[in-house]
């Protein structure tokens, strides 16, 4: 089962009648009126993970915002907050639940791929006394103190491992596409960014990786202003590795793509991935540590690591410094 379809081990789903939720929702509503709210971010809804590689624009519509729908080519929290700040206090969260974020296959927004309530994209972690509750895909979860400590220990061990692939620092004036092109050129990696593998299970295509390493490592690269979008990255790596390990057609397609991208070494169609590398730059310039990762990002990373290692695939997480 793909990682993004699984449950959330260590998290307890809270029902709508939980007496703590009204206060938490009121606090979230207040934060949605701030220009840079603490512990609030965006994450791709799980069922849209296969779609986002084809997206060229996102249409955002939020009722009562006083704004017409916007069409950014990149979706970030600031794009959504530009709408929620115009909604009257106390109505921001309900407006997000009534609003929509639509995925478009062209920059003009004429090719609609899919659409979900805007609230499904918001993730947050809020405290109620000593309790920690997490919002993900318009559902509330509680994470116990013991599991939080277990997660922190596991993630700290992953982050402390030395990297086997050396990547250059990320320049402030580079976007992801530019960084991947330069990293491939300077380090002799195979550039596969935006090249899609199409399989029977994923007919619309998935990215095998952004960069293919010297020992066929699948390197997935992400620059995130904050860590909430990383749950998408971790699930993406799991889905790609799963397809390549179990689908010979996917492996053959990867070999063809690598040759088409100038790879001179032989990549056999029977070669299954042995390592996934998550290469991450936090756009804020912060170091990649347990403290800089949202709790849901920690959960997603741990789940991806367990799933991949169960398949015999090693996992590394590499922090990319900024210059």
Q: Do 164 and 124 belong to one domain?
A: no
Question: Are 221 and 309 in a shared domain?
Answer: yes
221 and 254 assigned to the same domain? yes
Same domain flag for 70 and 154: no
Q: Identify the domain boundary among 85, 115, 143.
A: 143
Q: How far, CA to CA in Å, does 28 sit from each of 2, 100, 123, 133, 311?
A: 30, 18, 10, 12, 39
Same domain as 86, residue 160 = no
Within this chain, do residues 163 and 135 fall inside the same structural domain, yes or no?
no
Q: Which residue has the tokens 């997480």?
A: 317
Residues 65 and 113 in one domain: yes
User: Residues 137, 193: one domain?
Assistant: no
Cβ neighbours around 15 below 10 Å, total: 8
Its domain, for residue 13, covers 3-143
**In tens digits, what is the pLDDT along the chain, a chain of 323 residues?**
333 444 455 789 999 999 999 999 999 999 999 999 988 988 889 888 878 878 999 999 999 999 999 999 989 899 999 999 999 999 999 999 999 999 999 999 999 999 999 999 999 999 999 999 999 999 999 998 888 899 999 999 999 998 899 999 999 999 999 999 999 999 999 999 989 888 888 888 889 999 999 999 999 999 887 666 688 899 889 999 999 999 988 998 898 899 888 887 777 667 789 999 999 998 777 888 998 888 888 888 998 999 999 999 999 999 999 88
Q: The pTM is what?
A: 0.84
Helices (H), the chain: 21-31, 77-84, 92-98, 145-160, 176-187, 230-246, 248-260, 295-310
168 shares its domain with 270:
yes
- Which residue among 122, 143, 164 closes a domain? 143
Distance of CA 66 to CAs 31, 83, 95, Å? Answer: 18, 8, 12
Residues 184 and 133 in one domain: no
Do 164 and 300 lie in one domain? The reply is: yes
Q: Are residues 247 and 109 in the same domain?
A: no
Quote the number of domains for the chain: 2
CA separation for the pair 150, 130 (Å, rounded): 17
Domain edge (last residue) among 109, 143, 177 = 143
């Amino acid at each position: 089962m793909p990682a993004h379809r699984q449950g959330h081990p260590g998290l307890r789903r809270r029902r709508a009648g939980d007496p703590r939720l009204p206060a938490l929702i009121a606090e979230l509503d207040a934060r949605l009126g701030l220009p840079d709210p603490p512990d609030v971010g965006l994450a791709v809804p799980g069922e849209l993970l296969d779609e986002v590689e084809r997206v060229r624009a996102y249409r955002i519509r939020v009722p009562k915002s006083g704004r017409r729908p916007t069409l950014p080519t990149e979706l970030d929290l600031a794009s959504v907050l530009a709408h929620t700040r115009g909604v009257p206090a106390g109505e921001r969260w309900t407006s997000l639940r009534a609003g929509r974020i639509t995925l478009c296959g062209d920059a003009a927004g004429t090719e609609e791929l899919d659409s979900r309530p805007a609230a499904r994209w918001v993730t947050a972690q809020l405290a109620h006394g000593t309790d920690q509750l997490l919002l993900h895909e318009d559902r509330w979860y509680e994470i116990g103190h013991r599991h939080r400590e277990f997660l922190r220990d596991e993630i700290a061990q992953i982050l402390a491992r030395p990297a086997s692939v050396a990547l250059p620092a990320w320049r402030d004036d580079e976007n992801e596409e530019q960084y991947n092109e330069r990293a491939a050129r300077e380090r002799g990696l195979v550039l596969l960014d935006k090249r899609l593998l199409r399989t029977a299970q994923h007919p619309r295509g998935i990215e095998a990786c952004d960069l293919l390493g010297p020992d066929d490592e699948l390197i997935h690269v992400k620059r995130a202003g904050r860590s909430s979008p990383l749950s998408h990255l971790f699930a993406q790596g799991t889905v790609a590795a799963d397809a390549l390990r179990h689908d010979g057609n996917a492996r053959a397609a990867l070999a063809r793509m690598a040759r088409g991208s100038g790879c001179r070494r032989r990549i056999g169609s029977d070669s299954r991935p042995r390592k996934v590398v998550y290469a991450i730059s936090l756009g804020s310039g912060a170091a990649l540590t347990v403290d800089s990762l949202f709790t849901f990002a920690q959960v997603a990373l741990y789940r991806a690591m367990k799933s991949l290692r169960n398949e015999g695939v090693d996992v590394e997480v590499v922090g990319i410094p900024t210059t």
